[in-house]
A and B are shown apart, each in its own frame.
Chain A
Amino acid sequence: TQLLEQSPQFLSIQEGENLTVYCNSSSVFSSLQWYRQEPGEGPVLLVTVVTGGEVKKLKRLTFQFGDARKDSSLHITAAQPGDTGLYLCAGARTGNQFYFGTGTSLTVIP
């Protein structure tokens, strides 16, 4: 059972569209991270959010941590084919152990 539920599970959009991915849990995490993974590779960190209500922007990507530190969202503006991949949120518990969300597979069609 995954501690973190992501939605949607699959997303296929046209280049230029906007999208939001959600990561929800009933547990509180000390921090939450978002990773992107491409086939045949390990996940690569996009961002870490630590404070409840925190918003971070990384070019066209906007990340938000919920006030109660139980949920997060990733918003992509004007998606590009290079954004295609598996997006994973990961919550940190004690001892630097990370628990990953269920994943969102994004395909951006040129």
Chain B
Amino acid sequence: SAVISQKPSRDICQRGTSLTIQCQVDSQVTMMFWYRQQPGQSLTLIATANQGSEATYESGFVIDKFPISRPNLTFSTLTVSNMSPEDSSIYLCSVVKGAGGELFFGEGSRLTVL
């Protein structure tokens, strides 16, 4: 299994500012994933964070808007840049562990942009 801690758990931000979300895992993992979720809706994969290389972004997400750092095998950050109300969402960090490829998630960071 994996225990994932995310900070902040929630924040209210002003339009045009940036916020960095931190994700700490209790064990070393090769890949970390960042998802976005509107309350009550499904998860959309933003990017895959690989240690030692640039993150891989999904269609519709770009590095300038969502820069990601992955300084070591247990930590990653996602920055939401130049925020607008449309960025209000829950951002989730996850990792894959185990032979069966189970996804483990942090509790999420709920972001509200005014």
Binding site for B on A (CB under 8 A): 2, 6, 31, 33, 35, 40-43, 45, 48, 86, 88, 90, 92, 95-103, 105
**Chain B residue nearest to A47 in the complex (CB):** B100
How many chain B residues touch A (CB < 8 A): the figure is 23
CB distance from A91 to the nearest CB of B (A): 11
Please name all residues of chain A whose beta carbon is closer than 8 Å to the beta carbon of B102 when the two chains form the complex.
33, 45, 48
Please determine whether B106 and A42 come into contact, CB atoms closer than 8 angstroms. yes
Please determine whether A101 and B105 come into contact, CB atoms closer than 8 angstroms. no
Known: A95-B31, A96-B31, A101-B42. A42 touches B48 (CB 8 A): no
The complex places the Cα of A102 from the Cα of B103 at a distance, in Å, of 17
The complex places the Cα of A105 from the Cα of B38 at a distance, in Å, of 13
The complex places the Cα of A86 from the Cα of B92 at a distance, in Å, of 16
Q: B18 on the interface (CB 8 Å rule)?
A: no
Q: Which of B35, B41, B44, B107 contacts A40 (CB 8 A)?
A: B107
Interface of B is mostly: strand
User: Which of B43, B48, B100, B102 has the most CB atoms of chain A within a 10 A radius of its CB?
Assistant: B43
Please determine whether B42 and A103 come into contact, CB atoms closer than 8 angstroms. yes
User: Which of B40, B106, B107 has the most CB atoms of chain A within a 10 A radius of its CB?
Assistant: B40
Please name all residues of chain A whose beta carbon is closer than 8 Å to the beta carbon of B31 when the two chains form the complex.
95-96
Please name all residues of chain A whose beta carbon is closer than 8 Å to the beta carbon of B103 when the two chains form the complex.
33, 35, 43, 45, 90, 98
CB distance from A31 to the nearest CB of B (A): 7
The complex places the Cα of A99 from the Cα of B103 at a distance, in Å, of 11
The complex places the Cα of A92 from the Cα of B4 at a distance, in Å, of 21
Q: B94 on the interface (CB 8 Å rule)?
A: yes
Please name all residues of chain A whose beta carbon is closer than 8 Å to the beta carbon of B100 when the two chains form the complex.
48
Please determine whether A99 and B105 come into contact, CB atoms closer than 8 angstroms. no
Contact with A along B31-57 (1 / 0, CB 8 A): 101010000111111001000000000
